[in-house]
Amino acid sequence: MNASGPGHKLFEQSLTPSELQLDDAAQNVRHNAEAITQTTPARPPRATAKPRGRMGVAWREAAWLLFAWVLIAAVWELGAYTEVLNPRILPPPSQTIPYLLQGPAPAGIGSQRTTFLGAIVDTLSRVGIGYLLGIFAAMMLGALIVRYKPLRHLCYPIVQTLAPVSPVAWIPFAIALVGIGSPAAVFVVFMAIFGSMTVSAVAAFDGVPEEMLKVGRSLGTSGGQMWTRVIIPAAAPNLMVMARMSFFAAWMAVLAGEMAGINSGLGYLIILGQQMYNMKLVMVGIITIGVLGFVIDRLLLLIQRRLLWWEYRQ
Amino acid sequence: MNEMNRKKRLPTEVVFENVSKRFGEKQATQDVSLKVPGGSFTVIIGPSGCGKSTLLGLAAGLDEPSDGYVFVGGREVAGPTPEVALLFQYYNLFPWLTACDNVAFAFRNRGMPRKEARRRAMELLANVGLGDYADKVPDELSGGMKQRVALVRSFALQPVLLLMDEPFAALDHQTRRIMQSYLLMTWQATDATVIMVTHDLDEALYLADRLVLFSGSPGTISEVIDIDVPRPRRLDEGSLAAIRKRLEAHLEKEVAYDEFTETELARVMGYTRGG
**A119 Cβ neighbours under 8 A, 6+ residues apart:** A264, A265, A266, A268, A269
pLDDT digits (tens, 9 = 90+) for A280-301: 888 888 989 999 999 999 999 9
* ipTM exceeds 0.85, yes or no: no
Give the pLDDT score at A40.
40
Q: Does B60 touch chain A (CB under 8 A)?
A: yes
Within 188-217 of A, beta carbons closer than 8 Å to B belong to 209, 211-212, 214-215, 217
What average pLDDT does range A55-79 have in this prediction?
Answer: 90
pLDDT digits (tens, 9 = 90+) for A108-118: 555 556 788 88
Task: Select the residue of B80, B110, B137 nearest A218 (Cβ to Cβ).
Answer: B80
β pairing state of B220-226 and B210-215: antiparallel
pLDDT at B192 over 50: yes
User: Residue A78 carries which side chain, given as an amino acid letter?
Assistant: L
Whether B106 and B153 have beta carbons less than 8 Å apart is answered as: yes
Whether B128 and B151 have beta carbons less than 8 Å apart is answered as: yes
Give the pLDDT score at B95.
95
CA angle B112, B113, B118 (to 5 degrees): 90
Contacts 24+ apart (CB under 8 A), A68-72: none
Q: Do A1 and B139 touch (CB under 8 A)?
A: no
Task: Select the residue of B85, B88, B94 nearest A233 (Cβ to Cβ).
Answer: B94
Dihedral angle, C-alpha A90, A95, A101, A104, nearest 10 ° = -60
Closest CA to B205 of B225, B183, B178, B182: B225
Q: Where are the domains of chain A?
A: 1-44, 116-312
pLDDT at A6 over 70: no
Q: Do A220 and B81 touch (CB under 8 A)?
A: yes
Fold observed for domain A116-312: MetI-like fold (1.10.3720)
d(CA A130, CA A128): 6
pLDDT digits (tens, 9 = 90+) for A8-49: 433 333 433 443 333 444 344 434 443 433 334 444 444 444
A&B contacts, CB < 8 Å: 66
Edge-to-edge strand list for the sheet holding B84-87: B84-87, B161-165, B193-198, B41-45, B210-215, B220-226
d(CA A186, CA A134): 9
Closest CA to A283 of A133, A85, A145, A53: A85
Whether B163 and B56 have beta carbons less than 8 Å apart is answered as: yes
Q: Where are the domains of chain B?
A: 2-83+159-234, 95-157
Whether B16 and B60 have beta carbons less than 8 Å apart is answered as: no
Give the distance from residue A47's alpha carbon to the nearest chain B alpha carbon, in angstroms.
Answer: 10
CATH of domain B2-83+159-234: 3.40.50.300
d(CA A114, CA B105): 55
d(CA B238, CA B231): 15
**pLDDT range class, residue B8, cuts 50, 70, 90:** low
Q: Do A236 and B82 touch (CB under 8 A)?
A: no
Q: What is the DSSP letter of A231?
A: I
d(CA A217, CA A235): 17
Q: What is the 3-state secondary structure (H, E, C) of chain B?
A: CHHHHHHHCCCCCEEEEEEEEEECCEEEEEEEEEEECCCCEEEEECCCCCCHHHHHHHHHCCCCCCEEEEEECCEECCCCCCCEEEECCCCCCCCCCCHHHHHHHHHHCCCCCHHHHHHHHHHHHHHCCCHHHCCCCHHHCCHHHHHHHHHHHHHHCCCCEEEEECCCCCCCHHHHHHHHHHHHHHHHCCCCEEEEEECCHHHHHHHCCEEEEEECCCEEEEEEEECCCCCCCCCCCHHHHHHHHHHHHHHHHHHHHHCCCHHHHHHHHCCCCCC
What average pLDDT does range B71-100 have in this prediction?
Answer: 91
Cβ neighbours of A314 in B, within 8 Å:
139-140
pLDDT digits (tens, 9 = 90+) for B250-263: 887 776 566 777 78
Between the two ends of chain B, the Cα-to-Cα distance in Å is 64
Give the pLDDT score at B98.
95
Q: Do B105 and A219 touch (CB under 8 A)?
A: yes
**B199 Cβ neighbours under 8 A, 6+ residues apart:** B45, B48, B166, B169
d(CA A41, CA A43): 6
d(CA B2, CA B192): 16
Closest CA to B217 of B16, B26, B18: B26
Q: Does B91 touch chain A (CB under 8 A)?
A: yes
User: Residue A259 carries which side chain, given as an amino acid letter?
Assistant: M
Whether A90 and A80 have beta carbons less than 8 Å apart is answered as: yes
Within 218-237 of A, beta carbons closer than 8 Å to B belong to 218-221, 225, 229-230, 233-234, 236
pLDDT at B41 over 90: yes
Q: Do A313 and B140 touch (CB under 8 A)?
A: yes
Provide the β-strand partners of residue B35: B15
pLDDT digits (tens, 9 = 90+) for A219-257: 888 888 999 999 999 999 999 999 999 999 999 999 998
**pLDDT range class, residue A106, cuts 50, 70, 90:** low
pLDDT digits (tens, 9 = 90+) for A176-202: 888 888 899 999 999 999 999 999 999
